[in-house]
Amino acid sequence: MNSKNSLLKIVLLDVDAIGRDLDFSALENLGTCNFHSYTSADEIIERASNADIIITNKVKIQKTHLTNLPNLKLICIAATGMNNIDLKACEDLSIEVKNVKGYSTSSVVQHTFCFALNLLTSAPQYYNYTASGAWLKSKVFTNLDYTNRDLEDKVWGVIGLGSIGKKVAMIADAFGAKVQYFSTSGLNNNSDFEQVELNTLLKTSDIISIHAPLNEKTKNLIGAHELSQLKEKSILINMGRGEIIDSQALADKIKKEDSYFGIDVLENEPYLENDPIFLVKEYKNLLLTPHTAWASKEARSRLLIGIIENIKLCFNL
């Protein structure tokens, strides 16, 4: 993936995090592009030594790296969150940092309902039932071994009513669910839905989805006490960050099998072999995906377009 006759030197440190299936031709038209599947902390300086632009999704870039990259003018974050970059050091060194907002909203919302509807209807269990050939042997036209519930008239609680949370609330409302929300920042007020305290939301919601950022207010927001307040057979979906829910407390709750869980984010990604969630990954009340809610092909294409626009704006192209 290299462009000849280029003006800018562009290094993408972790292309596998945004996908090699994207069309990078528009980016390559802007300069000489060097793509790396993944870059460790020890490899950053060598790989970006002559770079004008670094593109990174999750690679952490610290002051010790930045002071050894004399040509660096712009860091493009292939994400919304900027916590993997030493922003103060960038400011001191006059290095611009640009992220991309809003590209994954539709993808995350879609994944949220994928989890909710699969857990409400026991679709994975029924797929396994039919695929195993058990239906072939049945004398009855249907099978009612697993729970199949309506979304209509359920209470859907949203934790974090930002752009993603609002869209989830609107779609849940369209399904006929009653929507209530808890604002983790205390700043989101929406007259269309009922605002409640966290304890009330946990105790009264049939489905709860988390769409909050990770910060000092939300880290370990949901611990053992909070999980103990969930309604029986309720569904908890985490689309925010893994650290919002205490991992051990979550694993313990999953083992009780009195609630259902859709988890796309974990404290350690990839998870570790001794991660509490790894040890319960095969429980039938759990759906677990590897941080893919954001990553529809369309969302990643929008992300790349946003990165290219940031480069063009920075260099007046």
* Tokens linked to 248: 């051990």
Catalytic residue, from 96, 194, 291, 309: name it: 291
Q: Is 302 a catalytic residue?
A: no
User: Which DSSP symbol is given to 271?
Assistant: P
- Is 241 annotated as catalytic? yes
Q: Cβ atoms within 10 A of the Cβ of 50, count? A: 13
Instruction: Specify the amino acid at residue 172.
Output: A
Integer angstrom CA distances of residue 308 from 53, 70, 102, 316: 11, 22, 15, 12
Q: Which of 28, 243, 269, 309 is catalytic?
A: 269
The single residue of 65, 111, 241, 300 carrying the catalytic annotation is 241
AA letter at 245: I
Tell me if 198 sits within 8 A of 224, measured CB to CB: no
Check if 291 is active-site: yes
In this structure, which long-range contacts are made by residues 132-135, counting pairs with CB atoms below 8 Å and at least 24 apart in sequence? none
| Cβ 184 vs Cβ 217: under 8 Å | yes
Q: Which residues are catalytic?
A: 241, 269, 291
